[in-house]
Copies of this chain bind each other. A is one copy, B any other.
Amino acid sequence: MPKLWNETIEAHRRAVRDATLDTTAALVAKHGLLSVTMARIAEETGIGRATLYKYFPDVEAILVAWHERQVTGHLEHLIAIRDRGGTPGERLKAVLEAYAFVSHEHHGTELAARLHRGEHVAQAQQQLSRLVSDLLAEGARIGDIRDDVAPDELATYCLHALAAASSLPSNAAVRRLVAVTLAGLRPPRASRR
């Protein structure tokens, strides 16, 4: 049964890969980037060093792969939230809040800054901008969102504003940031125009 055999091989490879990513991320979080070596990762995972090198050339490559997996996971999470249903306003708020919490929990470190220069991040940012921009366009059509500024510009505003979550001290502060950011998106008051 070659098909089953291939599937088993594939599942095994994925398991080795996932274990390597998880272990490396945990080691870096605990001991810092500079003290984590391939030998240490091999030891912790129980994978032989020679095998480990067949999967990844160095620690940096493992971290990039780990970060790609994180970014993909976050994007899938945001897409799932978007697809959960509710009014366009509710879905927009839920997606922006989830994004703000991702920024709050995962960023603001030197390692994050390094990993964020990768190509996979630029692609994910584009997908995210598109996702938010589509929600904003939907909101603008029903009069929930201002239509005097294009949805893609509003998306740029949103994502930058919400990145402030990485430097906020509490979940309550993150929720206030989302409320303030959303307030910027509403149709201008007639008296203010």
Contacts and interface: CB of A to CB of B under 8 A. Distances in A.
B156 A181 contact: no
Interface stretch (A47-55, A90-98, A184-192): A184-192
Interface in A141-193: 146, 148-149, 153-154, 156-157, 159-164, 167-168, 173, 176-177, 179-186, 188-189, 192
B156 A168 contact: yes
Contact of A180 (B167, B179, B184, B192): B184
Contacts of A113: 117
Contact of A153 (B173, B182, B183, B186): B173
Nearest to A183: B184
B161 A149 contact: no
Contact of A157 (B117, B161, B192): B161
Nearest to A154: B180
Interface residues of A, number: 31
Given A180-B146, A180-B185, A184-B181, A167 B156 contact: yes
Contacts of A148: 176
Interface of A: 113, 117, 146, 148-149, 153-154, 156-157, 159-164, 167-168, 173, 176-177, 179-186, 188-189, 192
Given A148-B176, A153-B177, A160-B162, 15 more contacts: A146-B180, A146-B183, A149-B176, A153-B173, A153-B180, A156-B167, A156-B168, A157-B164, A157-B180, A161-B184, A180-B185, A183-B183, A183-B184, A183-B185, A189-B189
9 contacts: A153-B176, A157-B177, A160-B160, A160-B163, A180-B185, A182-B184, A183-B188, A184-B184, A186-B192
